[in-house]
Amino acid sequence: MAQKVLEMKNIGKSYFGTQVLKDINITLEAGEIHALAGENGAGKSTLMNILFGMPVIHQTGGFDGEVLINEEPVNLNSPQKAMAAGIGMVHQEFMLLPGFTITENIKLNREITKDNIFSKIFGKSLKTLNFKAMNKDAKKAMTQLGMSIDEITLISKLPVGHMQFVEIAREIDKGDIKLLVFDEPTAVLTENEADKLLDAMEKLSEKGIAILFITHRLDEIMRVADTITILRDGHLVESGKKESFTIETIAEKMVGRKMSKSEMLKRDDFIENASTLLNIENLKVDMPGEKVKNFSLEVKQGEILGIGGLAGGGKIGVSNGIMGLYPSEGNISKNGSPIALNSPVSSLNQKIAFVSEDRRGIGLLLDESIEMNIATTAIQIQDKFLKNSFSKSLSFYDNIAIRKHALELIKELDIRCTGPEQKARSLSGGNQQKVCIARAFTLEPEILFVSEPTRGIDVGAKQIVLDLLVKMNREHGVTIIMTSSELAELRKICDRIAIVAEGELAGILPPDAPDVKFGLMMAAKKEVIHHG
């Protein structure tokens, strides 16, 4: 039996009398990849905070149970101690200096130095940096991860996906690392990059490093994990070898209720008969990282159209361009009447609404209440919820009408909150997304653009969001154009799926087309780029 690297015994934690974790037992052996699954709020972050000795735990009265590292009890009451004990963390947000090279980032504050005259006189802080040795170390760490980027490249020049690897390289370069925690490392990566990351994780585990892997993507768990632990509401629901689980059982146990697949009515003849609602011709969008070069497409009345493709291919640029958020050119017309580009107002006035992929950046006023988040756009664009007055722009908004509307939507979309006055910031990802959808829904759109609607939200909430979109389409007749990186969810609810590659339309496929067709279409022109 391999050595136990980490053992967490009977861990419990309560915040101000609320039990958030109870009797959690987790054991990791050297070289084991242990997946930790659970919905948002299941207690994963609290458990990780305990493991890292985060101050938030100790300021609120510590925790119950004990943590053993290499079979010896340790008292991890500060992050420094956790690091010294050989625990490394790969963060979801990157902690890198953009203007520094890969080597400098990896070696920061652990530089290899050599003596010179001044350092002999004035002390060791004036020693010369030994870049040769540092570059060698950096290269070694990157190669271990299967990356072959030049180690003197500036971080700012790297694609997002590669930054993650630099983070990991920094952790493994520390040498005595025994346990690495990956907190949703693939959330910001494309499928291709995520693959590479999973390969790298497997390589690390072969070297005897234990890995604790937190993710929302169940197929990733099934691919790399040796052991799986599922948390729900602060309890350990089940733990065991991967072989004893399937994606469906994990999903079911996480949510604690049977997952219902959204029943799609087959509507084969539907598309041919439908008239064209939105006509996009030669759209060019200058969105950094998601350039659209020449995109043309006809959207049919009443359909759910999916837009898929690899990250950086331009699929996200399409909706952002049409909504006037990024500089664009081309011809867009709805029912034959042209829509001015580069003007959010003209699109909104044409009853086109948008749920952005950047939920926190564009979709929400984080420090405002749910009700104001929902109502603001409708007030500005459609003069909804305004009391009559001599001037539209100086009329008061109607708090009572807003409250009533918000309560209806909270009920209809099942937004879990303490009330319409709760601040958007304090909601979970899934519920924030529902608020974004409610905001768009309030505009009573005829066309709804939805960009990455399930990014960063947990499995249960994902299903609810998708069901909601289907419901809007079927019951309210909203034509939906959904952009997503997850092919699986596009195939679940879309009538047609357009694939965008290299800023152009690569083709349109029915949702039941075979995988290989999608794969080929997405990758057709991408071969060259993805060998960074």
Partner 1 sequence: MDKVKNIIDKLGIPRLIIISFLLLLFIIAIASGLAIPPLIGDSIRRVGMAGILVLAMIPTIRAGMGLNFGLPLGIVCGLLGSLISVQFNFTGFTGFFMAIIFALPFAIITGIGYAWLLAKVKGQEMMVGTYVGFSSVAFMNMMWLVLPFTNPEIIWPIGGTGLRYTISLVNHFSGVLSDFLKLSIGQFEVPTGLILFFVFFCVLLYFFFKTKIGLAIDATGANEMYAISSGINVKKMRTTAVVISNCLAAIGIIAYAQSYGFLQLYNGPMFMAFPAVAAILIGGASLKKATISNVIIGTILFQTLLTISLPVTSQVVDGDISEVARLIISNGMIVYALTRGNKKGGK
Smallest gap from Cβ 128 to partner 1, in A, equals 37
**Residue found by looking up tokens 């924030």 in the block:** 432
Q: CA distances (Å), 154 to each of 75, 130, 165, 166, 248, in order?
A: 38, 18, 14, 11, 42
Q: 108 vs 345, which CB is nearer to partner 1?
A: 345
Q: 356 vs 483, which CB is nearer to partner 1?
A: 356
H/E stretch holding 338 reads strand 337-339
Smallest gap from Cβ 95 to partner 1, in A, equals 20
Q: 6 vs 443, which CB is nearer to partner 1?
A: 443
Q: 142 vs 440, which CB is nearer to partner 1?
A: 440
Q: 111 vs 368, which CB is nearer to partner 1?
A: 368
Q: DSSP string spanning 464-482?
A: HHHHHHHHHHHHH--EEEE
The CB density around residue 370, as the number of other CB atoms within 10 Å, is 30
Q: 215 vs 432, which CB is nearer to partner 1?
A: 432
Smallest gap from Cβ 54 to partner 1, in A, equals 20
Q: 331 vs 389, which CB is nearer to partner 1?
A: 389
Smallest gap from Cβ 151 to partner 1, in A, equals 33
Mention every residue, 6+ apart, whose C-beta is less than 8 A from residue 63. 11, 12, 13, 21, 50, 57
* Phi, psi (degrees; rounded to nearest 5) at 412: -65, -40
Q: 196 vs 434, which CB is nearer to partner 1?
A: 434
Amino acid at the residue 288: P
Can you name the residues that pair with 15 across neighbouring β-strands? 18
Q: 186 vs 347, which CB is nearer to partner 1?
A: 347
Rounded-to-10 torsion of CA 215, 218, 220, 226: 90
Smallest gap from Cβ 161 to partner 1, in A, equals 24
Decide if 375 contacts 398 (C-beta within 8 A): no
Smallest gap from Cβ 343 to partner 1, in A, equals 8
**Residue found by looking up tokens 């004893």 in the block:** 244
* Distance from C-alpha of 496 to C-alpha of 299, rounded to nearest angstrom: 10
Smallest gap from Cβ 471 to partner 1, in A, equals 23
Smallest gap from Cβ 270 to partner 1, in A, equals 31
Residue 224 tokens read as: 């790399």
Q: DSSP string spanning 267-324?
A: -TTHHHHSPEEEEEEEEEE--TTS-EEEEEEEEETT-EEEEE--TTSSHHHHHHHHTT
Q: Which residues bind partner 1 (CB under 8 A)?
A: 323, 325, 344-345, 348-349, 354, 356, 358, 361-368, 372, 376-377, 379-381, 383, 386, 392-397
HSE-up of 416 (CA within 13 Å, CB side)?
A: 11
Closest to 105 (Cα-Cα) out of 134, 146, 143: 134
> 16-32 burial, b for 16+ CB within 10 Å, e for fewer?
eeeebbbebebbbbbbb
* Phi, psi (degrees; rounded to nearest 5) at 44: -60, -50
Q: 356 vs 479, which CB is nearer to partner 1?
A: 356
Smallest gap from Cβ 204 to partner 1, in A, equals 38
Smallest gap from Cβ 320 to partner 1, in A, equals 9
The CB density around residue 132, as the number of other CB atoms within 10 Å, is 10
